[in-house]
Amino acid sequence: MAEERFFALLIILLNTFSLAVKEVRTLHLLSSLVLGVLIVYRSFKAGYPPLFTSFDSIALFAFLFFLSAYFLRAGRSVSAVGVLLTLPLLFVNPHVREIPPVIRTPLFFLHVGTAFLSYSLFVLSSLFALYSLIGKELSYLKVLLVGHYLFTLSLFFGGVWAYLAWGDIFPLEPKTFFSLFLWFYASLILHLQFDSSLRKFIPYFTAALAPLVLFVYLGVNYLFGGTHGF
Partner 1 sequence: MAFRSVKLFFLFIFIFSVSGLSVLFLSGRVFHSFEIPAFFPSFSPLLKLAVLAVAVSLFLIFLQTLYCALTNRLISLFFHASLAVSIFLILLFPLTSKTSSFYLYPGSFVEVNGKRVALADVVPAENAFSLKVFIEEDGRRVTGEVSFNSPFFSDFGTLWFSGVRRSMGMPLFEFRFLEPSPLPILLLLSGVLTVLFGLFYTISSLNREGKDVR
Q: State the minimum distance, in angstroms, from the CB of residue 49 to partner 1.
A: 16
Q: State the minimum distance, in angstroms, from the CB of residue 126 to partner 1.
A: 15
Q: At what angle do helices 54-71 and 2-18 cross, to 10 degrees?
A: 30
Nearer to partner 1, 14 or 155 (CB): 155
Q: State the minimum distance, in angstroms, from the CB of residue 182 to partner 1.
A: 11
Number of residues assigned to the chain: 230
DSSP tally for the chain: helices H, then strands E: 10, 0
Q: State the minimum distance, in angstroms, from the CB of residue 162 to partner 1.
A: 10
Burial (CB < 10 A; 0-12, 13-18, 19+), residue 50, is buried
- For 78, residues 6+ apart whose C-beta sits below 8 A from its C-beta are 24, 28, 69, 124, 127
Nearer to partner 1, 22 or 104 (CB): 104
Q: State the minimum distance, in angstroms, from the CB of residue 186 to partner 1.
A: 11
CB 202 within 8 A of CB 193: yes
Nearer to partner 1, 86 or 125 (CB): 125
Q: Find the farthest-apart pair of alpha carbons in the chain and give their distance in angstroms, rounded.
A: 55
Nearer to partner 1, 41 or 149 (CB): 149
Q: State the minimum distance, in angstroms, from the CB of residue 99 to partner 1.
A: 11
Q: How far is CA 123 from CA 3, 65, 105, 183, in A?
A: 28, 8, 28, 14
Q: Of the candidates 9, 29, 61, 32, which has an alpha carbon nearest to the alpha carbon of residue 210?
A: 61
Nearer to partner 1, 33 or 160 (CB): 160
Site residues (CB under 8 A) for partner 1? 101-102, 104-105, 107, 139, 141-142, 144-146, 148-149, 152-153, 156, 159-161, 163-170, 172-174, 177, 180-181, 184-185, 187-188, 190-196, 198, 223-226
Nearer to partner 1, 23 or 195 (CB): 195
What span, in angstroms and rounded, lies between the C-alpha atoms of 190 and 182?
12
